[in-house]
């Protein structure tokens, strides 16, 4: 009787194991660092399977589907710059960027669509002084065939090399 119970129990366990392994899907576990970069909003209207991701060097340009061309010109740690909302143990990092509207219609953009990550892949904090120094509105309209040059200020605890992310495109030092 014990053998029948053991065989039945063993068979049940094996069947459950086989059923679970054949129906299970792989789960990707990402760190909070990876999640913070992957959560950056997408600048295209395509589905996630159609999104083109690309990594560029500073100084290189990328044109999005809406004819918005972005160039990240530089990323500089600047201890002399005073942030509006300083955070203890963090320092200012300034991103210089150009946004060119290659279309015949105006487009809107905001400084907060840019994200900065340090060498440890930690997301830096956007500092609102970016607005008060250059533009009074959070959203800025760029006219047809016009260029907006801007400085975007971040508070970062980490060092270079830095990475800038805008939509699904990344610029690295």
90 in Cβ contact with 105 (< 8 Å): no
Position 28 pLDDT exceeds 70: no
Output the pLDDT for position 51. 66
Between 108 and 49, residue with greater pLDDT = 108
Cα separation, 86 vs 92, in Å, equals 8
Position 46 pLDDT exceeds 90: no
- Kindly state the average pLDDT of the residues 147-164: 92
Position 26 pLDDT exceeds 80: no
Position 152 pLDDT exceeds 70: yes
Q: What's the pTM value of the predicted model, to 2 decimals?
A: 0.68
Q: pLDDT-based confidence at 39, cuts 50/70/90?
A: very low
């Amino acid at each position: 009787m014990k053998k029948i119970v053991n065989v039945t129990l063993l068979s049940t366990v094996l069947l459950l194991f086989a059923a679970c392994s054949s129906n299970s899907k792989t789960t990707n576990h990402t760190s909070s660092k990876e999640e913070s970069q992957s959560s950056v909003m997408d600048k295209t209207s395509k589905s996630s399977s159609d999104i083109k991701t690309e990594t560029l060097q500073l100084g290189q340009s990328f044109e999005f589907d809406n004819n918005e061309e972005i160039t990240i010109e530089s990323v500089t740690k600047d201890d002399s710059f005073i942030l509006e909302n300083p955070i203890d143990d963090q320092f200012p990092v300034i991103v210089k960027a150009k946004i060119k509207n290659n279309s015949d219609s105006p487009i809107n953009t905001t400084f907060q669509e840019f994200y900065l990550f340090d060498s440890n892949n930690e997301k830096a904090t956007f500092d609102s002084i970016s607005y008060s120094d250059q533009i009074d509105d959070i959203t800025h309209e760029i006219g047809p065939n016009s260029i907006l040059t801007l400085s975007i200020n971040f508070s970062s605890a980490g060092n270079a090399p830095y990475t800038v992310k805008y939509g699904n495109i990344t610029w690295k030092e």
